[in-house]
Amino acid sequence: MLLVNKPKGITSFDAVYGIRKAAQRIHKEKIKVGHAGTLDPLASGLLIICTGRETKQINQYMGLPKTYTGTFVLGAVTPSFDLETEPEFGYETAHITTERIHETAQSFLGISEQYPPIYSAIKIGGKKAYQFARKGKEVEISPRQIEITRFEITAIRFPEVDVKISCAKGTYIRSIANDFGKRLNSGAYLKELCRTEIGPYLLENALQPADFYDLLQNEVE
């Protein structure tokens, strides 16, 4: 089991592919590799990658709670709930106070239902939702149950708000950003996201994907 610090701009599959190729170059044989929970290309942070027989434990790792840090931008929305699509401005923000921002964060605590973004990998009729979204087609996505155990406002630089959120698996922070704007009677989208914890595993103990090859090389030598 490997702790990988996925950089922004690559997919979780890219990280898995790089590690698989590195391992195969060293060991000269095919090695099973998989990740335990996707991170969007625009997000960075902790990714658990399993190899060999440990891939049988992937579901166990996927079930662990997760913690994220991120930045919401108030007063605008995007179709993808993040910066994959262009922001649409013009939402009123004059009524939003610091106190109301903190109160709104606390309103998310506990178990609730969440609608995942249309720009997501959720399967609809055998296809991923984003395949429909990118063609401008409308599809219906069912809500799912989520649980948020921590929602801290760590900084406010209006219209940007920094957050720290701990939640159960299957939670979309992008959807939380969109819903956060709605609860403020305004708009909001996710500007930055980093996963810092998965259960007891911490980002500070993770390697960059490119470092894994050097580690393998040193072990062989």
For 21, list phi and psi in degrees, rounded to 5: -65, -40
* Closest alpha carbon to 110 in 146, 86, 68, 144: 146
Can you say whether residue 118 is alpha, beta or left, with left for phi > 0 and alpha for psi between -120 and 50 degrees? alpha
40 catalytic residue (yes or no): yes
Stated as kind and residue range, the H or E segment containing 133 is helix 129-133
> Token digits for 129?
């939702």
Cα Rg of the chain (Å, integer) = 19
Closest CA to 116 of 174, 168, 74: 174
Q: What is the full DSSP assignment across 51-103?
A: EGGGGGGHHHHHTS-EEEEEEEEETEE-TTSSTTS--EE----TT--HHHHHH
φ, ψ (nearest 5 deg) of residue 148: -115, 120
Catalytic site residue from 40, 82, 162, 211: 40
Q: Which residues pair with 76 in a beta bridge?
A: 89
Q: How many whole angstroms separate alpha carbon 45 and alpha carbon 5?
A: 5
Residues with catalytic roles: 40
